Amino acid sequence: MTEEIRPGLQDVVVARTEVSTLDLERERIVVRGYDLIELARTVRFPDVAHLLLRGHLPSSEEQAAFCRELADLAGLPDGVVDVLRRLPRDTHPMDAQRTALSLLAGYEDPQALEDPSVEAAERALMRILARAPALTAASYRALRGEPVLEPNPGLGFAGSFLWMIQGRPREPEIVAVFDRILTCYSEHELAASTFTARVAASTLADPYAAVVAAAAALKGPLHGGANEAAARMFAQIRMAGGERAAEAYVLERLARRERIMGFGHRVYMHRPDPRAVLLREDLEAFAARDPDAAEMVRCYDVVVETMAREKGLHPNADLPIGLLLHLIGIPVELMTPIFLCARIAGIAAHVLEQRADNRLIRPRAAYEGPSGLAPPEGFTPSAC
């Protein structure tokens, strides 16, 4: 057994994949051969979801069928909403969402859940993807005792998602930004959540279990939770005085050796994240329309300049997305659940790939504890 240990599995290649890669030389995220940033500019999230789940961009007939399928499957069983309403009010929507995803498994045909085929998994994953927006909006609204809104398929996937959260149809340009955010989040190779999903899938656990496992890994601030943390940071900077307080805010935290969320990345680290570069353009559009947004975007730029100068670190996708979602009016606790909804498309592709050529993922650890111990003489076993 090789004893070389790479903490955090840094640069360890654990799988072959046809889903995506981070092409550092060309500064591209390649998804099934396409540049993700080009996709974000030119197609809609459901097209990218089709590409991820079904392996190719849809023809116009396939587009219509896929959108119909997403719309037909989008509603939630009443029982799920009932359970969400019974959760303690202070439950984080990310926890509520993960709980609701687990509950959904109970509404599947048990035989279909046990079916180890790729086809059965694809059907379940399509249902999870379609229901994720309703489930996410319901997680938030039910906890607050607000009415839970039905999907509104006439508004499109992104538009209906915003509708269920905010209770009003949003302007086309806002829906377009939200759709781009979903595409930017849709797939990113072996991020911690996707890897976790593949580990769960490798045990032949059903797709719900794999997505729930991924949701657990996504919650942390070093991964998906970073968008929420970034949005909170901008709110604090604003309270502290806005643009003129932004540099001091960063320097104080760096002096305390704290991390600034929304910067750095295991794979890019000192290179730009192409998603953050694209989404900075959307921030510009907000700034041009609204002086309040313009002030926040200036704070953004000061934070970015300070981090580049002090640490040589670039923003990752979570920094602009935290701010964009705030400018769209999304509650901060819903930002990471929204990330998961989009990433389910990529996770689905990886779970299917794992199933198609499965081998249990089971690494080893280098043991550094004692050995040869025995319970002391006369040790009495506990009574419980």
Q: Which residues sit at the interface with ligand CMC, rule CB under 6 A?
A: 8, 191, 222-224, 226, 259-266, 311, 313, 316-318
Q: C-beta of 321: minimal distance to ligand CMC in Å? A: 9
Of 173 and 305, nearer to ligand CMC (C-beta) is 305
Q: Is 56 one of the annotated active-site residues of the chain? A: no
CB of 204 to ligand CMC, least distance (A): 27
Q: How far is CA 192 from CA 195, 214, 319, in A?
A: 5, 8, 18
User: Any catalytic annotation for residue 35?
Assistant: no
**Annotation marks residue 265 as catalytic:** yes
CB of 139 or CB of 194, closer to ligand CMC: 194
Q: Are the CB atoms for 137 and 164 separated by under 8 Å?
A: yes
When the beta carbons of 124 and 229 are compared against ligand CMC, the nearer one is: 229
The pair phi, psi for residue 21, each rounded to 5°, is -150, 155
**Catalytic residue, candidates 50, 188, 206, 265:** 265
Contact 148, 100 (CB under 8 A): no
Task: Report d(CA 215, CA 197) in Å as an integer.
Answer: 9
Q: What gap in Å lies between CA 237 and CA 249, rounded to an integer?
A: 7
Catalytic residue among 95, 179, 273, 318: 318
User: Which among 188, 223, 326, 350 is annotated as catalytic?
Assistant: 223
Helix 118-143 with 45-54: angle, nearest 10 deg: 150
Q: Are 175 and 158 in contact (CB under 8 A)?
A: yes
Task: Give me the residues paired with residue 31 across strands.
Answer: 20, 34
Residue 341, Cβ neighbours under 10 Å: how many?
A: 25
Q: Would you say how long the chain is, in residues?
A: 384
CB of 253 to ligand CMC, least distance (A): 8
The residue of the chain with the least Cβ separation from ligand CMC equals 264
DSSP string, 232-277: HHHHHHHHHTTHHHHHHHHHHHHHTT---TTB--TTTTTS--HHHH
Q: Which is nearer to ligand CMC, 8 or 145 (CB)?
A: 8
Closest CB 258 distance from ligand CMC, rounded Å: 7
- Closest to ligand CMC by CB, 28 or 266: 266
- If the CB atoms of residues 186 and 316 are measured against ligand CMC, the closer one turns out to be 316
**Minimal distance, residue 15 CB to ligand CMC, in Å:** 17
CB 225 to ligand CMC: min, Å: 8
| Active centre residues (catalytic) | 223, 265, 318
